[in-house]
Amino acid sequence: MKPPADPKRPIKVLFVCLGNICRSPTAQGVFMHYVKEAGLEDRIVIDSAGTGNYQIGKPPDSRACAAAAQRGYDLSGQIARQVTREDFAVFDYVLAMDEQNLRDLKRLCPAQHARKVKLFTAFSSSGARAVPDPYIGGPEGFELVLDLVEESARGLLLHLRRQLNA
């Protein structure tokens, strides 16, 4: 995928899961942390959304926040929202957490933006195909999400740094 035509325009990344309270806010928080560490917060814009509408207006799941905080990531200040058709025009990358989210996004996505939609794990070297939903389950699910998100986020940052020559 090519960077934006205007080199001064930031690259915009949207992470998407089902409800926007566990996986995509975790990805947003972890990736924001990496982007800040790299000094690229003025060149990369990050957001998250859900394919479903039943968590709109809610903060991230408290278990996701606690697991993230133990690794030094801050998920506070995020509020769940639903992905919109306009997001496909605004964002350069629309990254799904799993195959179902990917199918839902592809159904919603205008044809001219289809190249922007892919699995977040496509940037991972682990071979994982999805970041599984930890909502129903114990704390180990949130730890697995963090492991997969950290790996994919490192790969995504490397990819974007190449685009930005940074």
**What pLDDT is attached to residue 6?**
64
Structural domain including 87 reads: 11-164
Q: Which residues are known catalytic residues?
A: 17, 23, 133
Task: For 39-53, give one letter per residue: b (16+ CB within 10 A) or e.
Answer: ebeebbbbbbbbbbe
CA distances from 126 to 33, 56, 69, 118, 150 (A): 21, 32, 23, 16, 11
CA 86 to chain centre: 17
| Residue range 67-99, pLDDT digits in tens | 999 999 999 999 999 999 999 999 999 999 999
Provide mean pLDDT across the span 121-125: 96
CATH code (residue 135): 3.40.50.2300
Q: Let me know if residue 50 belongs to a domain.
A: yes
Query: Who wins on pLDDT, 108 or 7?
Result: 108
Q: Let me know if residue 38 belongs to a domain.
A: yes
Say if residue 63's pLDDT is above 80: yes
Q: Let me know if residue 28 belongs to a domain.
A: yes
Q: Let me know if residue 51 belongs to a domain.
A: yes
Q: Is 77 helix (H, G, I), strand (E, B) or coil?
A: coil
**What pLDDT is attached to residue 124?**
96
Q: Let me know if residue 3 belongs to a domain.
A: no
What does the DSSP assignment read for 103-157?
Answer: HHHHHHS-GGGGGGEEEGGGG-SS--------SSS-HHHHHHHHHHHHHHHHHHH
| Residue range 1-44, pLDDT digits in tens | 554 556 678 999 999 999 999 999 999 999 999 999 999 999 99
**What pLDDT is attached to residue 110?**
97
Q: Let me know if residue 5 belongs to a domain.
A: no
Q: Could you give the angle at the alpha carbon of 42 between the alpha carbons of 41 and 43, nearest 5°? A: 90
**What pLDDT is attached to residue 138?**
87
Average pLDDT, the chain: 95
Total number of domains constituting the chain: 1
Q: Let me know if residue 6 belongs to a domain.
A: no
**What pLDDT is attached to residue 2?**
52
Query: Who wins on pLDDT, 165 or 32?
Result: 32
Q: Let me know if residue 99 belongs to a domain.
A: yes
CB 46 within 8 A of CB 28: yes
**What pLDDT is attached to residue 137?**
84
Task: Name the residue among 104, 149, 105, 115 with its Cα closest to residue 131.
Answer: 149
50: part of which helix (H) or strand (E)?
A: strand 44-50
**What pLDDT is attached to residue 61?**
97
